[in-house]
Amino acid sequence: MRQLKAFVARLRGLLHSEPLEADFAAELESHVAMHTEDNIRAGLRPAEARRQALIQLGGVEKTRQLHRDRRTFPWVESIMQDVRFGCRMLLRNRAYTAVAVLTLAIGIGVSATAFTWIHAVLLQPLGGVADPNRLVTLESVTPSGGLVPTSYPDYVDFRDHLKLLDGVAVTRPAAFSVGNQDHAERVWGELVSGNFFAVLGVTPALGRVFLPTEYGDAPGSFPVVVISDRYWRSHFAADPNIAGKTIRINQHQLTIVGVAPPAFHGSMPVTAFDLWIPYMQQPLLNGVNVRMLRDRHNRNMLGFARLKPGVTSNQALDELRALAAQMSVANADVSEGMSATLMPLWKSPHGPQGLLIGPLRILSGVCILVLLIVCANVANLQLARATVREKEFSARLALGAGRMRIARQVLTESLMLTFAGALLGVAATPWMSSALRYLMPPGPMVQLVAMDTRPNLAVLGFTVGLCVFAALAAGLAPALQVGRLNLASRMNDGGRSGAAGRRNRLRSILVGSEVALALVALVGAGLFTRAFQTTMRIDPGFDPNHVLLGQFYLNTSGYNLQQREDFCRRLAEKMQAAPGVTDVAYSDGVPLGFEPSWWEELKIEGYAPRPNENMNIFRNVISPGYLPLMHIPVVEGRNFTEQDDESDKAPFVMIVNQAFVRHFFPDRDPIGQKVHGWGVEFRIVGVAKDSKYHYLSDSNLPYFYVPFRQIYRTDMALAFYVRSQDSPADVLTTLRTQTHDLDPNVTVFDAVPLKEFIGASLYPQKVAASLMAVLGSIAVLLAAVGLYSVMAYWVAQRTQEIGVRMALGAQPGHVLRMVVRQGLSLAVGGILAGGLLAFALSRLAASVSFTNSAMGAGSKLMGDGGGEPLIFVAAAVFLCALAAIAAWLPARRAASIDPMQALRTE
Amino acid sequence: MGDKTDVWQGTLALMVLRTLEAMGPQHGYGLARRIEQTSGDLLQLNYGTLYPALLKLEQEGYISSSWGTSENNRKAKFYELTKAGRRQLKKTAAEWNQTTAILARFLTPAEEA
């Protein structure tokens, strides 16, 4: 207690240093005066009286120092001294300070931003939920080990039978059209099981969340909705009496029962939803057939669960696996070989984090590279400065300063530099953080990405850690150098030779590492760009030019299936008649969209699947005009016609691709073969040429098409294609007016040229390439500046030696060659080391795959780096040239001056 | 250490508190002189060392200080015991008495033996 009081008093002493100092000076003065007076009274002469008084006091300065030490904290005082002195030194060399601070700001800013993202996506628990650490994702597992969503009936089994979980809930992100017909607005929300909020542990900010009576599985009986705090404020002006009011969603009235707390944005990281509606309203809201809700095949729900207190995730997993094994036997027709698993929320491949993990890994790698180059640069700058300041340091040493104290001074200065850099860098992070959305593939999910960009402790701690790391990395070498200063020789020869040998070795290492890091950056940028270009050149197998793609959400306009089919036919007829339009078609899935396409489990007559063979084949549901519009040739048999319809006379037909034929009918004529799917029998009527379906890197993927009029189901999407003679943008207006003529309630939401849309499939490579291009060029630029300055400095230091050589008769040409040769040999060492590092890293990067959100399947970001020797050679040659120039320019200057002058330079 | 012993911090604090209790408010110089006198000039006090000790006591709240006028009409800073200071004095004095008593018991027979 007393200690604390004293501590506070000393802290106060720190702040009011000057008045307290003056106060004590006055006290001492009065002390000496009184003592002197007494001494005079005792008979001493005034001068002697004062002298004796001072002797007995033990010296005024010493006493003041003792007093000061007790008044404040001596170590704080000396640090403040260091800081003050450091400030003066840094301000005196503005150019040096500016370069160092800016360099550090780039390095630290970039790294802090990357960490903010990683923190938000992977580390930060869901906001607004109780005990988020006990929440886990529940995923269904296919026989081949892929992670897929869960069907509602499977969920009901999990919910009713698992004892070690404090509830299992499911959710499905969905877009709703909210408001009255004419000005409907698209709002994203989640269709959730009734116990959604209970499992998450969310307490409403207003009203209530779903009641246990609303947890049931009766379709259409819960017309209620919970809205987000954000939506409540933006659309209802934070109306405190909102509970009980109605809201029009997909042309149905729902009652708002409550408002979620401000911190809660839904069940996915970095994603903000605004509406939560019981999944059982799906038949009403989206016109989905009730049968679909009961279909175990319909795996469309994302599951999560809460572990009971005291239950480990392994125990819960064992229980879940046992149950899933029973279910896979009981429902063998749809779930044979299926299992289920639990994993941390952030590991789920569904949702934005699944898409972001790959880019974030690359990003963090690149950031480390940039930070290292920055540290090397600043270390160089500091080392150069330390050499210049050797005389100052020697003088301080000679006056009795401790080596530790001077080393500390150097470290203090580098800490000040890094903190100044960090301040600048962190000031930019909120702005850079919002750029996270550019890492997301284009598509509806982008609008949902919401980052909590408020600075938080973890990010702050990370940044401080970075600062200290950077300060040590950049300041340790110069600080150690001080420890080795040879006092006598320094003072005597005025800084001519001394520790030059050792310093040169240190500098050689720095030059080498600069070159190595620059090489890694160059090679990385080269490899990613090359991978991107390679993918760009792949022929997708269809012609996306001059095609406009429009996506409709007819189910949100209250259409039933029949109405949707009619709408498509009539819109197609109208568009076909429009000027400039050559083809019109529509389908369920869009090729090369980032949105995954769906599959159907097929049974092929005459083909015996291998054990565990995945018979889920990807498919598209198309109108007869689709293949001609896409310029996908039918190589055998015929295309679909308008006669392939739902009437009883028309048999179900199917067109398969060449890969399908190669795989399932290697030595049979595919035309006329029977295939079973959707519970009916199809006949193959044609074979279409292979094209790309999901990624440009697809190869040999069996695929099939079925006619829109025969197979179109309520849960399918609707994409509309218009091919025109001119630019697709011109047709957009026509498409909008025609749609409006047909039904003013329908809005064309996403209409883009197909060419642009399929860019999404290039997205992973594009992100990697553009990130590497931006950060890589920063890195190369920094490394080039660093390399040049180190080289130039290294040569400049040898001016005197060059002078001696010239005075002894060396030719300028000789001297030049010698310096350049030595500079190059340094660079070559760095290139060798960097080459090895880059090779190893490219192997690592090649293994980073990109998750496809629906299938859990991976797509590689780039090819094997080892296969691109040209990039390595080009990078090495570029850096050698740079090193040669960096050595040659200052060497030429050194060689051109008069030898006598060179000798006198110091 | 010789005949005139240097004063070490802990005991100096106790001496200051005791002297202040006996004399009432006093300035640093007066305290130093008085401590020297009380010790029968056995203690050679470097007056300067008194001030950090005073500051420490003040920071701990055992004494308070204020500017006043000395007997010779000189401006001087006067130190005064606080309530906490009196309590502390009682406590440490008791502790010291006990310590010295115990030590005395150890030392007396040893000398005889």
Residue type, B99: T
| DSSP alpha helix (H) spans, A389-499 | 390-398, 403-433, 457-483, 487-493
Cβ count within 10 A of residue B70 = 18
| pLDDT, greater one: A276 or A525 | A276
Measured CA to CA in angstroms, residue B23 lies from A180, B69, B72, B108 at distances of 92, 16, 17, 34
User: Which residues span the domain enclosing A475?
Assistant: 354-537+763-904
Residues 6+ away with beta carbon under 8 Å from A609:
A615
Question: For B48, which of A6, A26, A63 is closest by C-beta distance?
Answer: A63
Best of A1, A5, A31 to mutate (most B CBs within 10 Å, chain B): A31
CA distance A368 to A775: 11
Q: Is residue B111 over pLDDT 60?
A: no
Q: Is residue A829 over pLDDT 80?
A: yes
Inter-chain contact B75–A30, Cβ cutoff 8 Å?
yes
Query: How far A19 CA sits from the closest chain B CA (Å)?
Result: 14
Find the mean pLDDT for residues B23-36: 89
Question: For B52, which of A37, A57, A70 is closest by C-beta distance?
Answer: A70
Question: Are residues A702 and A663 in contact, defined by beta-carbon separation less than 8 angstroms?
Answer: yes
Cβ count within 10 A of residue A310 = 7
SS percent in chain B: helix, strand, coil, step 5: 60, 15, 25
Asked if A815 and A718 sit in the same domain, the reply is no
Inter-chain contact B48–A37, Cβ cutoff 8 Å?
no
Question: Are residues B52 and A70 in contact, defined by beta-carbon separation less than 8 angstroms?
Answer: yes
User: Does A809 map to a domain?
Assistant: yes
pLDDT digits (tens, 9 = 90+) for A847-863: 665 443 333 344 455 54
Q: Is residue A585 over pLDDT 80?
A: yes
Residue owning tokens 């009184």: A34
Asked if A489 and A460 sit in the same domain, the reply is yes
Which band of pLDDT confidence, cut at 50, 70 and 90, is reported for residue A882?
A: confident
Percentage, residues of chain A above pLDDT 90: 10
Which two three-digit tokens encode residue A377?
A: 């640069």
User: Does A114 map to a domain?
Assistant: no
Residue owning tokens 């499992």: A199
In chain A, which residue's Cα lies nearest the Cα of B75? A30
DSSP A70-113: HHS-HHHHHHHHHHHHHHHHHHHTHHHHHHHHHHHHHHHHHHHH
pLDDT at A848: 61
Asked if A811 and A871 sit in the same domain, the reply is yes
Asked if A177 and A274 sit in the same domain, the reply is yes
Which band of pLDDT confidence, cut at 50, 70 and 90, is reported for residue A589?
A: confident
Find the mean pLDDT for residues A171-187: 76
Which band of pLDDT confidence, cut at 50, 70 and 90, is reported for residue A759?
A: low
CA distance A267 to A193: 12
pLDDT digits (tens, 9 = 90+) for A762-817: 665 666 667 767 777 777 777 777 777 777 777 777 777 777 888 888 888 888 88
Decide which of A37, A55, A72 is a domain's last residue: A72
Residues in chain A within 8 Å Cβ distance of B72: 34, 37
| DSSP alpha helix (H) spans, A484-560 | 487-493, 500-537
Asked if A577 and A660 sit in the same domain, the reply is yes
Return the closest-CA partner of residue A394 out of A494, A487, A282. Answer: A487
Q: How far apart are the first and last CA of chain A?
A: 61
Q: Measured between CB atoms, does B66 come within 8 Å of chain A?
A: no
Which two three-digit tokens encode residue A274?
A: 């605004």
pLDDT digits (tens, 9 = 90+) for A133-157: 888 888 888 777 777 788 888 999 9
Question: Are residues A430 and A117 in contact, defined by beta-carbon separation less than 8 angstroms?
Answer: no
- Residue A770 three-state SS: helix
In chain A, which residue's Cα lies nearest the Cα of B47? A57
Asked if A671 and A617 sit in the same domain, the reply is yes
Taking the whole predicted model, whether its pTM rises above 0.95 is answered as no
Q: Which helix (H) or strand (E) holds B58?
A: helix B47-59
Which two three-digit tokens encode residue A482?
A: 């001080």
Q: Angle between the B47-59 and A17-41 helix axes, to the nearest 10 degrees? A: 140
pLDDT at A843: 76
Question: Are residues A377 and A786 in contact, defined by beta-carbon separation less than 8 angstroms?
Answer: yes
Query: How far B77 CA sits from the closest chain A CA (Å)?
Result: 6
Q: Is residue A352 over pLDDT 70?
A: no
pLDDT at A336: 77
Asked if A459 and A317 sit in the same domain, the reply is no
Domain ranges of chain B: 9-112
Residues in chain A within 8 Å Cβ distance of B66: none
Find the mean pLDDT for residues A580-590: 88
pLDDT at A455: 58
pLDDT digits (tens, 9 = 90+) for A626-638: 999 999 999 999 9
Inter-chain contact A31–B28, Cβ cutoff 8 Å?
yes
| DSSP alpha helix (H) spans, A724-868 | 728-742, 754-757, 763-796, 799-807, 812-846
Question: Are residues A706 and A621 in contact, defined by beta-carbon separation less than 8 angstroms?
Answer: yes
| pLDDT, greater one: A766 or A661 | A661
DSSP A194-252: TTHHHHHTPPPSEE----GGG-S--TT---EEEE-HHHHHHHHTT-TT-TT-EEEETTE
Extended beta strands in A308-426, E state: 339-344
Residue type, A572: A
Instruction: Provide the number of CB pairs (under 8 Å) joining chain A to chain B.
Output: 73
Which two three-digit tokens encode residue A736?
A: 């909008």
Inter-chain contact A30–B46, Cβ cutoff 8 Å?
no
User: Does A757 map to a domain?
Assistant: no
Question: Are residues A393 and A482 in contact, defined by beta-carbon separation less than 8 angstroms?
Answer: yes
| pLDDT, greater one: A280 or A717 | A280
Largest CA distance in chain A: 139
Q: Angle between the A869-896 and A763-796 helix axes, to the nearest 10 degrees? A: 20
Which band of pLDDT confidence, cut at 50, 70 and 90, is reported for residue A556?
A: low
Find the mean pLDDT for residues A102-108: 84
pLDDT at A277: 93
Give me the interface pTM, i.e. the ipTM.
0.85
Question: Are residues A532 and A769 in contact, defined by beta-carbon separation less than 8 angstroms?
Answer: yes
pLDDT at A143: 76
Question: Are residues B56 and A67 in contact, defined by beta-carbon separation less than 8 angstroms?
Answer: no
pLDDT at A491: 52
CA distance A599 to A590: 13
Query: How far B59 CA sits from the closest chain A CA (Å)?
Result: 5
Question: Are residues A276 and A232 in contact, defined by beta-carbon separation less than 8 angstroms?
Answer: no
- Residue A558 three-state SS: coil
Q: How far apart are the first and last CA of chain B?
A: 27
The domain tally of chain A equals 4
pLDDT at B83: 92
Question: Are residues A734 and A720 in contact, defined by beta-carbon separation less than 8 angstroms?
Answer: no
DSSP A205-216: SEE----GGG-S
Question: Are residues A564 and A718 in contact, defined by beta-carbon separation less than 8 angstroms?
Answer: yes
pLDDT at A859: 47
Asked if A729 and A800 sit in the same domain, the reply is no
Decide which of A748, A772, A802 is a domain's last residue: A748
Measured CA to CA in angstroms, residue A407 lies from A389, A443, A504 at distances of 12, 55, 20
Q: HSE-up of A553 (CA within 13 Å, CB side)?
A: 21
User: Does A543 map to a domain?
Assistant: no
User: Does A571 map to a domain?
Assistant: yes
Strand-pairing partners, residue A185, are: A178
Asked if A532 and A478 sit in the same domain, the reply is yes
CA distance A513 to B20: 68
Decide which of A26, A51, A72 is a domain's last residue: A72
In chain A, which residue's Cα lies nearest the Cα of B74? A30
User: Does A217 map to a domain?
Assistant: yes
Asked if A717 and A783 sit in the same domain, the reply is no
| pLDDT, greater one: A499 or A594 | A594
User: Does A429 map to a domain?
Assistant: yes
Question: For B48, which of A33, A62, A71 is closest by C-beta distance?
Answer: A62
Q: Measured between CB atoms, does B75 come within 8 Å of chain A?
A: yes
Domain at B9-112: CATH code: 1.10.10.10
Measured CA to CA in angstroms, residue A416 lies from A193, A412, A467 at distances of 54, 6, 9
DSSP A669-699: --TT-EEEETTEEEEEEEEEPP--SS-TT--
Question: Are residues A879 and A902 in contact, defined by beta-carbon separation less than 8 angstroms?
Answer: no
Q: What is the mean pLDDT of chain A?
A: 80
Asked if A156 and A295 sit in the same domain, the reply is yes
| pLDDT, greater one: A79 or A703 | A703
Strands A599-601 and A339-344: unpaired
Inter-chain contact A35–B29, Cβ cutoff 8 Å?
yes
Question: Are residues A353 and A122 in contact, defined by beta-carbon separation less than 8 angstroms?
Answer: yes
Residues in chain A within 8 Å Cβ distance of B91: none
Q: What is the mean pLDDT of chain B?
A: 82
pLDDT at A617: 86
Inter-chain contact A34–B76, Cβ cutoff 8 Å?
yes
Question: Are residues A714 and A555 in contact, defined by beta-carbon separation less than 8 angstroms?
Answer: yes
pLDDT digits (tens, 9 = 90+) for A371-428: 888 888 888 777 777 777 777 788 888 887 777 888 888 888 888 888 888 888 877 7
CA distance A179 to A196: 25
User: Does A110 map to a domain?
Assistant: no
Return the closest-CA partner of residue A767 out of A352, A270, A355. Answer: A355
Q: Which among A442-456, A849-863, B18-32, B34-48 has the top mean pLDDT?
A: B18-32
Strand-pairing partners, residue A680, are: A677
